[in-house]
Amino acid sequence: MNKNSSNIMALAPNTSNKRETVCIFGTGDFGRALGHKLIQSGYPVVFGSRGTQTSSLIPKEAEVLSHAEAAQKAAIIIIAIQRQHYNFLIPLAEILRGKVLVDISNNLKINQYPESNAEYLAQLVPGAKVVKAFNTVSAWALQSGTLDASRQVFVCGDDMEAKQMVMDIVRALGLTPLDQGSLLAAQEIENYPLQLFPMWKFPILLSLGLIAFFFFYCLIRDVIYPYVYENKDYSFFIAISITNRICPILALILLALVYLPGVLAAIIQLYRGTKYRRFPDWLDKWMLCRKQLGLVALAFASLHVLYTLVIPIRSFVRWRISSQTVSQALNNKTEPLDTTNAWLSDSYLALGILGFFLFVLLGITSLPSVSNNVNWREFRFVQSKLGYLTLVLCTAHTMVYGGKWFLSPSSYRWYLPNAYMLSLIIPCTVLVIKFVLVFPCLDKPLTRIRQGWERNPQYSE
Ligand code: NAP
C-alpha cells in the first residue's frame, strides 16, 4: 500500500459509531457521574444495583438491573462500590468469568490494606481480568465537566487486551490514559489521591521553622533589647519592619537551598569517582523539591518588594525624616550629601531590582506551559546559569545593604549579629563551593564522571 492510500485510510471517518455496552455496579455518586459521561460519549450503560427501581438521579437512558443480569449484558464492568462491600461479588464469580472488572476504588489512608484494592478484587474473582483506573478522577469533576486538573487517568492491569479496552473508554471520555504497567502498580495509584502536596511539605515546613526562628531572633534584637536598655516601645516593628526583614532573609536562604544540593551532589560524585551510585535518600528527596523551594523563595521575595514599597508612607519613617529636618533647622546646619552612602544605597537597590527580575524569570520558566516549550539545554541555561546569577545578585544586594556594619560593635545586641548577616551564611557557602568547582582541576573530572567515566570501574571490559 502506498503512503497516500494509508493517509486516506487514517483520515477516513469511522462509520461504525456503535459502542459496546458498559456495565456499572453501584448507583452511588461515582457510578452515576461516570454513567452520565459514558452516555454522553455514546456508550449504552447498564447499572447493576441492589435495588432495580430507577430514580431521578440515575440517567434515564440507562437500564437498572440486578448485578447478575447487568453483568451478562457487558464485557466491561466498572465496580463503583467501596472495597469493604466487595464480598457480594463472590457468588457472582461464574458470571464474571472472563469479564473485564474495572476497580476505581480509593482508601481512606495510605497503604490501608496489605494488598491493593484491585489485587484484592482479583483474588475474590480469579476468573476476571482486573484493571485499575479512574480512581484519581472525582465524581464532581466528571459531573461538572471541570476535568482540567485531573485529565490524566492512571491505568494498570495484567491483561494487555483488557487494559487496552479500558484505555479506549478513557480516551472516548476525553481523558488521557497513562499506562502504569501491571496490577502491582495499583497500590501506588491508590495512594496518589491521598497524598497532600508531597513535594511542598519540606519547603513549607522548612519555611515555617525559619520564620519562627527569625521572628524570635528579630523580636529579641529589635523590640526587647531597646525596651530593656532604652525603655523604648518598638513593638509596632512586628507589623512591617520585622516582617520585611524575615521575607528577604527567607527568600535568600531558600534560593541558596535550591542550589546547595547540586553542589553537594557534585562533591559526592567527585569523592566517589562515579555517577552510578545512588545519592543518599535525603539528598534525592531534597533535589526533587528544588522547584517548590524556589517558588516559595520567590513568594517571599515578592512580599519583600511589596513591604518595601510602603516604607515611605509609614508614620514612623515620616516622623524620623521630619525630626531629622527639624533638628537640622534648629541647628541651622544642612547635612552635606554623602556620596559614598548614595552610591551604596543606589547600588543595593539596583542589585535588588535586577535580582528580583531574574528571580521572576526563573519562576516563569518553571511553569509547565513555559518549560514544555524550551529544550533541555535552554531550560538548564535558565535554571542553572541565570539561577546562579540571581543568587549572586541577591547575595550582593544583602551584602551591600549592611556590609559597612559587619564589624561595628553597635550592630551586635546581646552578642547577636543582625539577622541579615545570618542569612548570608548558606548563600556564601554555596557560591564559594560553586566557584571552587569551576576550577578546571575539578570541573574536568566532574564533567567526565557525569558523562559516564568511572575512577574505579565496577565492570572492567
Ligand atoms: P457511594 O456514593 O457510597 O456509592 C456506593 C454504591 O455502592 C452505593 O450507591 C450502592 O449502590 C453500592 N453499595 C453500597 N453498599 C453495598 C453493599 N453492601 N453491597 C453491594 N453494593 C453496595 O460511593 P461513591 O462515592 O460512588 O464511590 C464508589 C467507589 O468509587 C468507591 O470505591 C470510591 O473509592 C470510588 N471513587 C469515588 C470517587 C468520588 O468522587 N466519589 C472518586 C474516585 C473513586 P446500589 O444502591 O446501586 O447497590
CA 124 to ligand 1 centroid distance, Å: 18
Segment 185-213 mean pLDDT: 90
Q: Where are the alpha helices (DSSP H) in 62-185?
A: 67-72, 93-96, 117-124, 139-144, 160-172
Q: Which residue has the higher pLDDT, 89 or 407?
A: 89
Which residue out of 52, 69, 82, 120 has the highest number of ligand 1 atoms within 8 Å of its CB and is therefore the one to mutate? Answer: 82
Nearest ligand 1 atom to alpha carbon 48? 47
Mutating to test ligand 1, I would choose from 23, 24, 27, 29 the residue with most ligand atoms within 8 A of its C-beta, which is 29
Is the predicted pLDDT of residue 4 greater than 80, yes or no? no
Edge-first strand order for the sheet with 45-48 is 63-65, 45-48, 22-25, 76-79, 100-103, 129-132, 152-157, 176-179
**pLDDT tens for each residue of 25-43:** 999 999 999 999 999 999 9
Query: 52 C-alpha to center of ligand 1: Å?
Result: 16
Determine whether the shortest distance from the Cβ of 398 to ligand 1 is under 6 A: no
| H runs (alpha helix) in 173-289 | 186-191, 201-218, 225-230, 243-272, 281-288
Please give the grid coordinates belonging to residue 277. 551510585
Confidence bin at 383 (pLDDT 50/70/90): confident
Q: How far is the centre of ligand 1, averaged over its atoms, from the C-alpha of 144 (Å)? A: 19
Predicted pLDDT of residue 407: 72
| Section 439-457 average pLDDT | 90
Q: pLDDT band at 5, cuts 50/70/90?
A: very low
Q: Does residue 138 line the site of ligand 1, with CB under 6 A?
A: yes
Rounded to whole angstroms, the Cα distance separating 124 from 97 reads: 11
Residue matched to cell numbers 471517518: 13
48 lines ligand 1 (CB under 6 A): no
CA of 174 to the centre of ligand 1 (A): 23
Q: Could you tell me which residue, 54 or 134, shows the higher pLDDT?
A: 134
Q: Which pLDDT belongs to residue 14?
A: 46
Which ligand 1 atom minimizes the distance to the CA of 32? 26
Chain mean pLDDT for the chain: 89
Confirm or reject: Cβ of 49 under 6 Å from ligand 1: yes
Tally of CB atoms within 10 A around 183: 24
Q: Specify the pLDDT at position 460.
A: 55
CA of 223 to the centre of ligand 1 (A): 58
| Beta carbons of 417 and 218 less than 8 angstroms apart | no
Please report the pLDDT score of residue 147 as a whole number.
60
What is the structure's pLDDT at 17? 62
pLDDT at 11 over 60: no
Best mutation site among 23, 24, 77, 81 for ligand 1 pocket (most ligand atoms within 8 Å of CB): 81
* Span 337-359, pLDDT tens digits: 889 888 998 999 999 999 999 99
Query: What pLDDT is attached to residue 199?
Result: 82
Q: In sequence order, which residues have a C-beta less than 8 Å from that of residue 145 and are 6 or more positions away?
A: none
Q: Is the CB–ligand 1 distance for residue 117 below 6 Å? A: no
Quote the CA–CA distance of 322 and 316 in Å, as a whole number. 10
Average pLDDT on 289-312 reads: 94
Asked if the model's pLDDT at residue 459 lies above 70, the reply is no
Residue 107, ligand 1, Cβ within 6 A: no
Residue 16: predicted pLDDT: 54
Predicted confidence at residue 461, as pLDDT, reads 53
Average pLDDT over every residue of 229-253: 94
pLDDT for residue 150: 58
pLDDT tens across 47-83, in order? 999 988 767 788 889 999 999 999 999 999 999 999 9
- Report residue 416 CA to chain centroid gap: 36
pTM assigned to the model: 0.70
Q: Is ligand 1 within 6 A of the CB of residue 385?
A: no
**Which residues does residue 157 pair with via DSSP β-bridges, in sequence order?**
131
Q: For ligand 1, say whether the CB of 217 is within 6 Å of any of its atoms.
A: no
Reported confidence tier of residue 408, pLDDT bands at 50, 70, 90: confident
Assigned C-alpha cell, 335: 547635612
Calculate the dihedral angle through the C-alpha atoms of 337, 339, 340, 343, rounding to the nearest 10 degrees.
120
Per-residue pLDDT band at 3 (split at 50, 70, 90): very low
pLDDT-based confidence at residue 18 (cuts at 50, 70, 90): confident
pLDDT of residue 108: 92
| Residues 135-146 pLDDT 10s | 999 888 888 776
CA torsion 370-376-380-382 (nearest 10°) is: -30
> What is the Å distance from ligand 1's center to 31 Cα?
7
What are the cell numbers at 126?
A: 480469579
Which of 213, 212, 210, 217 is closest to 416 using CA atoms? 217
Question: Per-residue pLDDT for 450 more than 60?
Answer: yes
The C-alpha cell 557525569 sits at 450
> Whose CA is closest to atom 1 on ligand 1?
28
The pLDDT score that the predictor gives to residue 39 is: 95
